[in-house]
């Protein structure tokens, strides 16, 4: 087996990897833990927010750490006193202390990547009878779509037939809007897979579930495991198998963990593979659109590009090749965050717009437009926003998207995504409270960009640009004076083959993803949507989010899981008397209703802390638009300084 050299780190940070210590939130899988780095992000200013996100993203590239693994004591947090969880959802306390957690550069991860690369090569040699399918839910599905369409374009440029297909839970409408209920259905997953691969003799199935948790993906993997003569299943996610979700899946006989364990067994004969390095908890707890999405892109692009290059050069892929591809992504992190101050200025602008009830619009070209659309679509489930608060648009609309179901515009305003749609239906209502961000490369149509930008400028001064340039290219003075600011990301010239240009395109996408994630996350932090590093006001729209909501309530109230779940149900059903009928129905009934409601978790928090009626809790929550302020009033987290205003508010309330 290839043993990678100890890597030279481009960046080092003090709090990195602390989540690996024994006992650190032992009840939770890595992807749901709260990251010690961003623990105080809700109180940070824009520059600090970007810095914390940078450190958090740097963990993706961190190696296995022997000093952490051999640490025997129980982890205790001294910096803050955010309550810890009591229930055990995942592994037992201390279990992590001697278990080496695989990381991106671990030898076993590279070995699995090599094995999968070989399977990809075999498929590429027989496009007529074989297919590579990428599948996921939410962000993972959007990335499956982006990767499959990009690699088909790569093949098209070589005059080859497409070899890739994608599946996203909820169908193409889920590329733009959140359809989280479909994620809970393993049968839907298997059915979608059967449809897409009809008639194929060999299928490499890549199922992405960052948390090793989505039933939709479990159903597909299980179907593959039962048909190994045709299918080679690959699971991509960011938890160890022993932390995969082990909850009963409604209407099914297996848990995700059982499927993952079966995959592990079959992996021994190299007919199934699991790619699951830990990349550390998310900057905003559980928000797998962030690091999970980025790491998915890094792993799959490196692996697929290496396979394509090996096929065209007729040479074997080596682990060193793979490592070299991945190391270039580490440079993307460096180049992107070297613009930290400019990113912070955009975060500040976004926060100001959101605080004034203004909107954020991303106007992108080609796949950078897709990155804008993806970031915007995630804000609805992540921050509970309306689709119109953060929106993305792309040149040529669906033609450029090249999605399977074609033009979806007729389904409603949230499906209007072309620049023409923006100019005709949105721009007339743009005001100075709104922020508009153009995203392009200097190879895009600069005259068109300038023309559009000048029209937007008449409506709002908050017009910014993210431009990707290649060394030696310069942003023209005309462009510079059109925008209030131009963030110019400079990339080295690519001298090498065809695949190299795709690598650069992918890296510009990742860079854009990091910047946009910072803008939308940072903007919402400044708007007061986050408490410590938790999104308290999450939409409880599927079973994973239901469990996360209960865990959040436990964390901040230290009450038992049963009591927390009862409070959550009272809030969802808006009743003080929970009937046994409600208590006993399936979680999907709760989440179907919860998805239509607002602020259910904050209301449950007030219920638990005030011991009041649901009506009172709801009116208290609704009285204050900023969720964090309300939560701060009711939760006196020791160690957290309270402002004079807050103390005053608390007093007022007690006198009410």
Check binding of 112 to ligand F1P (CB under 6 A): no
Check binding of 276 to ligand F1P (CB under 6 A): no
For the bound state, the minimum distance from the C-beta of residue 136 to ligand F1P, rounded and expressed in Å, comes to 6
Tokens 């609805």 -> residue? 380
Give, for 440, the enclosing helix (H) or strand (E).
strand 435-441
CA angle 218, 265, 144 (to 5 degrees): 35
Complex with ligand F1P: residue 138 or 522, whichever CB lies closer: 138
Complex with ligand F1P: residue 209 or 339, whichever CB lies closer: 209
In terms of phi and psi (left: phi > 0; alpha: psi -120 to 50; beta: otherwise), the region of 16 is beta
Q: Binding string, 485-524, against ligand F1P, x = CB under 6 A?
A: ----------------------------------------
Virtual torsion, Cα 178, 180, 182, 186, nearest 10 deg: 140
Burial of residue 450 (number of CB atoms within 10 Å: 0-12, 13-18, 19+)? middle
For the bound state, the minimum distance from the C-beta of residue 524 to ligand F1P, rounded and expressed in Å, comes to 14
Tell me which of 39, 257, 289, 590 binds ligand F1P, using CB under 6 A. 289
C-beta of residue 21 within 8 angstroms of C-beta of residue 68: yes
Segment near ligand F1P (CB under 6 A), from 45-53, 79-87, 207-215, 575-583?
A: 207-215
Complex with ligand F1P: residue 192 or 453, whichever CB lies closer: 192
Tell me which of 138, 170, 207, 528 binds ligand F1P, using CB under 6 A. 138
Tell me the C-alpha distance between 93 and 84, whole Å.
12
Residues in the chain: 656
Q: The tokens of 585 are what? A: 């129905």
Q: How far is CA 396 from CA 146, 418, 422, in A?
A: 16, 6, 11
CA angle 47, 330, 109 (to 5 degrees): 130
Tell me the C-alpha distance between 384 and 378, whole Å.
9
Complex with ligand F1P: residue 430 or 551, whichever CB lies closer: 551
Tokens 């499959």 -> residue? 148
For the bound state, the minimum distance from the C-beta of residue 289 to ligand F1P, rounded and expressed in Å, comes to 5
For the bound state, the minimum distance from the C-beta of residue 150 to ligand F1P, rounded and expressed in Å, comes to 19
Complex with ligand F1P: residue 287 or 403, whichever CB lies closer: 287
Complex with ligand F1P: residue 85 or 244, whichever CB lies closer: 244
Complex with ligand F1P: residue 149 or 382, whichever CB lies closer: 382
C-beta of residue 418 within 8 angstroms of C-beta of residue 397: yes
For the bound state, the minimum distance from the C-beta of residue 213 to ligand F1P, rounded and expressed in Å, comes to 5
Phi and psi of 382, rounded to 5°?
-75, -45
Segment near ligand F1P (CB under 6 A), from 130-138, 149-157, 270-278, 491-499?
A: 130-138
For the bound state, the minimum distance from the C-beta of residue 517 to ligand F1P, rounded and expressed in Å, comes to 12
Between residue 513 and residue 572, which ones bind ligand F1P under the rule CB under 6 A? 544
Complex with ligand F1P: residue 296 or 557, whichever CB lies closer: 296
In terms of phi and psi (left: phi > 0; alpha: psi -120 to 50; beta: otherwise), the region of 652 is alpha
195 CB contacts (<8 Å, ≥6 apart)?
Answer: none
For the bound state, the minimum distance from the C-beta of residue 178 to ligand F1P, rounded and expressed in Å, comes to 7
The residue of the chain with the least Cβ separation from ligand F1P equals: 138
Tell me which of 20, 57, 180, 400 binds ligand F1P, using CB under 6 A. 180
Tell me which of 186, 211, 277, 372 binds ligand F1P, using CB under 6 A. 211
Tell me which of 32, 42, 183, 632 binds ligand F1P, using CB under 6 A. 183
Q: How far is CA 271 from CA 224, 242, 268, 316, in A?
A: 10, 20, 8, 20
Neighbouring CB atoms inside 10 A of 477's CB total 8
For the bound state, the minimum distance from the C-beta of residue 174 to ligand F1P, rounded and expressed in Å, comes to 9
**Nearest of 566, 497, 84 to residue 310 by alpha carbon:** 497
Query: Using the 8-state DSSP alphabet, how is residue 73 labeled?
Result: S
Between residue 351 and residue 410, which ones bind ligand F1P under the rule CB under 6 A? 381
For the bound state, the minimum distance from the C-beta of residue 292 to ligand F1P, rounded and expressed in Å, comes to 6
DSSP-based helix, strand, coil % in the chain, nearest 5: 55, 10, 35
End-to-end CA distance of the chain: 69
Check binding of 140 to ligand F1P (CB under 6 A): yes
Complex with ligand F1P: residue 184 or 434, whichever CB lies closer: 184
Segment near ligand F1P (CB under 6 A), from 8-16, 111-119, 209-217, 634-642?
A: 209-217
Total interface residues for ligand F1P by CB under 6 A: 18
Complex with ligand F1P: residue 381 or 528, whichever CB lies closer: 381
For the bound state, the minimum distance from the C-beta of residue 275 to ligand F1P, rounded and expressed in Å, comes to 13
Complex with ligand F1P: residue 365 or 514, whichever CB lies closer: 514
Concatenate the DSSP letters of all residues of 540-582 into one string. Answer: --SHHHHHHHHHHHHHHH---HHHHHHHHHHHHHT-SS--HHH
Tell me which of 84, 112, 139, 418 binds ligand F1P, using CB under 6 A. 139
Complex with ligand F1P: residue 167 or 617, whichever CB lies closer: 167
Bridge partners, residue 467, by sequence: 440, 488
Complex with ligand F1P: residue 37 or 210, whichever CB lies closer: 210
C-beta of residue 336 within 8 angstroms of C-beta of residue 507: no
Tell me which of 214, 278, 347, 516 binds ligand F1P, using CB under 6 A. 214
Tokens 């717009």 -> residue? 353
Q: How far is CA 316 from CA 160, 206, 337, 341, 476, in A?
A: 21, 22, 34, 43, 44
Tell me which of 176, 204, 210, 303 binds ligand F1P, using CB under 6 A. 210
Tell me the C-alpha distance between 606 and 84, whole Å.
19
Segment near ligand F1P (CB under 6 A), from 64-72, 132-140, 335-343, 461-469?
A: 132-140
Query: Using the 8-state DSSP alphabet, how is residue 237 labeled?
Result: -
Complex with ligand F1P: residue 381 or 523, whichever CB lies closer: 381
Tell me which of 38, 84, 135, 209 binds ligand F1P, using CB under 6 A. 209
Complex with ligand F1P: residue 138 or 233, whichever CB lies closer: 138
Q: Count Cα neighbours of 255 within 13 Å in the Cβ-side half-sphere.
A: 13
For the bound state, the minimum distance from the C-beta of residue 186 to ligand F1P, rounded and expressed in Å, comes to 13
**Nearest of 547, 542, 551, 548 to residue 588 by alpha carbon:** 542
Tell me which of 213, 232, 276, 321 binds ligand F1P, using CB under 6 A. 213
Tell me which of 84, 130, 288, 511 binds ligand F1P, using CB under 6 A. 288
Phi and psi of 419, rounded to 5°?
-60, -35
Complex with ligand F1P: residue 211 or 384, whichever CB lies closer: 211
Binding residues (CB under 6 A) for ligand F1P: these are: 136-140, 180, 183, 208-211, 213-214, 288-289, 292, 381, 544
């Amino acid at each position: 087996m290839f043993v990678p050299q100890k890597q030279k780190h481009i960046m080092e940070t003090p709090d990195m990897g602390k989540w690996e210590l024994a006992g650190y939130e032992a009840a939770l899988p890595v992807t749901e833990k709260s990251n010690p780095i961003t623990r105080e992000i809700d109180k940070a200013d824009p520059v600090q927010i970007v810095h914390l996100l940078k450190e958090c993203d740097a963990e993706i590239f961190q190696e296995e750490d022997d000093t952490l693994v051999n640490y025997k004591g129980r982890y205790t947090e001294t910096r803050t006193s955010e309550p810890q969880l009591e229930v055990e959802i995942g592994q037992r306390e201390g279990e992590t202390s001697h278990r080496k957690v695989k990381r991106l550069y671990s030898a076993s991860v590279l070995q699995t990547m090599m094995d999968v690369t070989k399977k990809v090569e075999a498929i590429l040699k027989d496009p007529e009878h074989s297919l590579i399918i990428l599948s996921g839910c939410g962000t993972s599905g959007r990335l499956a779509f982006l990767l499959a369409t990009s690699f088909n374009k790569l093949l098209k440029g070589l005059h080859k037939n497409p070899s890739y297909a994608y599946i996203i839970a909820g169908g193409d409408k889920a590329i733009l809007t959140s359809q989280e209920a479909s994620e809970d259905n393993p049968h839907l997953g298997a059915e979608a897979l059967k449809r897409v691969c009809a008639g194929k003799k060999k299928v490499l199935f890549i199922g992405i579930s960052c948390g090793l948790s989505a039933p939709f993906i479990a159903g597909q993997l299980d179907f593959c495991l039962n048909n190994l003569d045709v299918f080679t299943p690959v699971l991509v996610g960011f938890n160890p198998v022993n932390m995969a979700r082990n909850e009963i899946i409604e209407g099914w006989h297996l848990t995700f963990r059982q499927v993952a364990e079966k995959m592990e067994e079959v992996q021994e004969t190299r007919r199934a593979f699991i790619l699951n390095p830990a990349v550390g908890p998310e900057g905003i707890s559980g928000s797998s659109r962030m690091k999970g999405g980025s790491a998915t892109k890094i792993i799959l692009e490196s692996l697929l590009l290496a396979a394509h290059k090996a096929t065209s050069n007729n040479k074997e892929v080596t682990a060193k090749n793979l490592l070299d591809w991945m190391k270039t992504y580490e440079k993307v992190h460096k180049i992107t965050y070297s613009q930290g101050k400019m990113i912070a200025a955009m975060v500040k602008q976004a926060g100001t717009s959101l605080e004034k009830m203004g909107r954020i619009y991303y106007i992108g070209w080609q796949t950078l437009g897709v990155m804008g659309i993806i970031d915007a679509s995630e804000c609805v489930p992540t921050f509970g926003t309306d689709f119109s608060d953060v929106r993305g648009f792309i040149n040529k609309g669906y033609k450029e998207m090249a999605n399977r179901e074609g033009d979806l515009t007729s389904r409603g305003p949230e499906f209007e995504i072309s620049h023409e749609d923006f100019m005709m239906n949105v721009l007339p209502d743009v005001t100075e409270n709104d922020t508009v961000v153009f995203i392009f490369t200097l190879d895009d149509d600069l005259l068109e960009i300038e023309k559009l930008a000048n029209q937007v400028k008449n409506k709002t001064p908050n017009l910014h640009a993210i431009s990707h340039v290649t060394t030696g290219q310069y942003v023209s003075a005309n462009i510079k004076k059109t925008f209030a600011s131009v963030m110019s990301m400079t990339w080295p010239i690519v001298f090498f083959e065809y695949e190299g240009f795709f690598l650069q395109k992918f890296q510009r996408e990742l860079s854009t993803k990091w910047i946009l994630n910072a803008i939308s996350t940072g903007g919402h932090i400044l708007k007061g949507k986050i408490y410590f590093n938790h999104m308290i006001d999450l939409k409880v729209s599927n079973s994973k989010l239901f469990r996360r909501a209960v865990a959040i309530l436990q964390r901040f109230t230290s009450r038992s899981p049963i009591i927390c779940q009862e409070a959550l149900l009272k809030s969802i059903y808006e009743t003080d008397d929970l009937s046994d009928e409600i208590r006993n129905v399936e979680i999907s009934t709760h989440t179907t209703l919860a998805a239509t409601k607002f602020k259910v978790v904050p209301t449950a928090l007030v219920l638990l802390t005030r011991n009041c009626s649901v009506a009172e809790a709801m009116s208290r929550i609704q009285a204050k638009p900023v969720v964090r302020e309300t939560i701060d009033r009711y939760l006196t987290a020791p160690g957290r300084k309270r402002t004079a205003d807050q103390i005053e508010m608390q007093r007022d309330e007690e006198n009410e």
